[in-house]
Structure 1
Amino acid sequence: MNQLTPKSIGCPYCGETIKVLLDASDVAEQYIEDCQVCCRPINFLVYETMDGELDVNVYSEDDVLIFTR
């Protein structure tokens, strides 16, 4: 069973800090979740740090993100 990792992020639109759950099966995947405060779509890119921890980069729709495997 995958363990979910709680993480606090800042919404790239409204700046509010929101809590999200990161899933290890989402590493190197890009997906969209709506902000819990302003409801705008946030692009998520989950990755694993050198220490083996899960982390995430978040982007607005206007930010350009190029991801290649």
Structure 2
Amino acid sequence: MNTERIHDTKVHCPHCGHNIHLDIDLSEEHQDFDDECRACGAVIYLRLYRDAGDDRFHLQIRSDDEQYY
């Protein structure tokens, strides 16, 4: 893990709405992972990807792991 590519990101829990801080690893352009809300303990599903159109990272936050087809 490259510590230079770790960024502290503040997000809102989709379950309880609290602000939580996550360490996001930007060393890979496409990632699917989950984390636990420190306030309510619910699982948060995250998808990180780099958009080729604007060359920026985007983070999607979901309350469930439902896949979109």
Q: TM-score, normalised by structure 2?
A: 0.74
State the 4+ residue runs in structure 1 displaced beyond 3 angstroms. Answer: 49-55
Normalized per residue, the structure richer in strand is 2
Q: Which runs of 5+ in 1 are unaligned?
A: none
Larger-Rg structure: 2
Between the aligned residues of both structures, percent identity stands at 21
The aligned counterpart of 2:61 is 58
The aligned counterpart of 2:14 is 12
Q: Which runs of 5+ in 2 are unaligned?
A: none
**What is the Cα-based RMSD across aligned positions, in Å?**
2.2
Deviations 1:10-42 (A, max 9, x none): 000000011111101343211111111111000
Q: TM-score, normalised by structure 1?
A: 0.74
Q: How many residues align?
A: 66
